[in-house]
Amino acid sequence: MSEHKNIYIAADLATHWAAQCLQKAGAEPVIAASMAEHLVAADLLGFRTHGLMRLGYNVRCLQQGEARGAGTYVVERQRAAMQLWDADYLSGLYVVPQAVKAAIAMAKQCGTGTVVIKRAQHVAALVVYLEHAIHAGMMIQLLCATPGQQVVAPYGAKSAWFSPNPFAIGVPTQSQPILFDISLSMTAAGKVRKAIAEKQPLPYPALITAVGDYTTDATTFMAEPASVLAPLGGQELGYKGSGLCLFSELWTLALSQLGRHQELPGVDANTVWVQVIDPSTFGSLAEFKAQAQALVDGMKAAIPIAPDQPVRVPGEGALRTRERQLRNGIEYTPALWRQLGKVAQAVQVPLPDPNAKVVTV
């Protein structure tokens, strides 16, 4: 195998291998399967920094007891359409899909369902959970904050208070679903680390240095004192991202009653807001999908600035990437393949053969 050519692996093969690694690290089969499924789902959609790139991290967390590989969550409080869960360091890759399922069940009865989860270990990309609700004909909104992490500055500051706080929505239409997943900071910490590893600058000034300058130099994130992430909107419009970060943390940390001032710094335990809405509560699902489609069609009909770059609907590029990779295999760089090789060696599960056929589990 050339050290310079990318590697292509069938999605089922990658998922099966990752699940084996996670089981060897201490996860029960059902938990390992869900973790692997949603990590690979991120790779399929092109969210590379949240896919198998994070497998080694998840393996280490299981091995070191920072994530539980067995057990279940606790429902601490509930009403007809709302629940508060304590995941107690179970992987978010396992718990969040369970919360979406619970929210769907509540929405079928009450029109909406909300679950707030505290102390969920690694959540990864929110986008991978959206289609669970979309396939049930539901709308979904997700928010996530990390009380033990401070890397995003409030607008006007050069020190951090917020976490990057991803936000995602999923909506069914008459055609492709809407899949929207963004960070409420100018970029995610994972993308900064990726830029450092590749020795590349960030594409725009997303960091604020210790002296208060906005910069594209990713290495300042590892300096002493370190730069911090700017809120969404950057130097000119960061007040918008700052307000959105506050919104996210009120809906997650405040509602869960486990705030940043109560959590130990550095603990990677997330609080997640999951809300599902059943559009049929307001009328027919078919008419809702028609309305959503009309909004999408209007976007697509807008005259593009560059004729060769038509307007894209959120999720359109990701779904196209998934379709291509399901057909041709998930593309991994040699550098990431070497990283996965170290994971394979650590847990004594050989890397999958790129030439192997798709496995049936």
Confidence of residue 360 (pLDDT cuts 50, 70, 90): very low
Confidence of residue 264 (pLDDT cuts 50, 70, 90): confident
Q: Is the pLDDT of residue 41 over 70?
A: yes
Q: Is the pLDDT of residue 44 over 60?
A: yes
Tens digits of residue pLDDT in 304-315 = 999 999 999 999
Cα–Cα distance list, 142 to 52, 127, 145, 271 (Å): 22, 9, 10, 11
The pLDDT of 52-80, averaged and rounded, is: 97
Amino acid at 298: G
Tens digits of residue pLDDT in 280-297 = 999 999 999 999 999 999
**In this structure, what token pair is assigned to residue 161?**
């208070």
Token look-up 């497998």 returns 55
pTM: 0.94
Give pLDDT, residue 238.
Answer: 97
Sign of CA dihedral 183, 189, 195, 198: negative
Tens digits of residue pLDDT in 210-254 = 999 999 999 999 999 999 999 999 999 999 999 999 999 999 999
Q: Is the pLDDT of residue 358 over 80?
A: no
**Phi, psi at residue 145, to the nearest 5°?**
-140, 155
Neighbours of 93 (CB within 10 A): 30
Domains present along the chain, CATH in parentheses: 1-71+329-361 (1.10.1530.10), 73-186+230-312 (3.30.1370.60)
Percent of all residues in the chain with a pLDDT value above 70, rounded to a whole number = 98
**In this structure, what token pair is assigned to residue 188?**
């995610």
d(CA 242, CA 184): 8
d(CA 334, CA 336): 6
Residue 7, beta-bridge partner list: 332
**In this structure, what token pair is assigned to residue 292?**
């959503």
Tens digits of residue pLDDT in 142-152 = 999 999 999 99
The pLDDT of 166-192, averaged and rounded, is: 95
Confidence of residue 2 (pLDDT cuts 50, 70, 90): low
Tens digits of residue pLDDT in 121-149 = 999 999 999 999 999 999 999 999 999 99
Outline where the chain has alpha helix (H): 11-24, 29-44, 55-63, 92-110, 127-134, 189-197, 234-249, 255-256, 285-301, 316-328, 334-347
The pLDDT of 83-98, averaged and rounded, is: 98
Q: What is the DSSP string of 211-253?
A: TS-EE--GGGGGSSSPPEEPBTTHHHHHHHHHHHHHHHHIIII
Cα–Cα distance list, 322 to 10, 144, 318, 326 (Å): 12, 24, 6, 6
The pLDDT of 54-79, averaged and rounded, is: 97
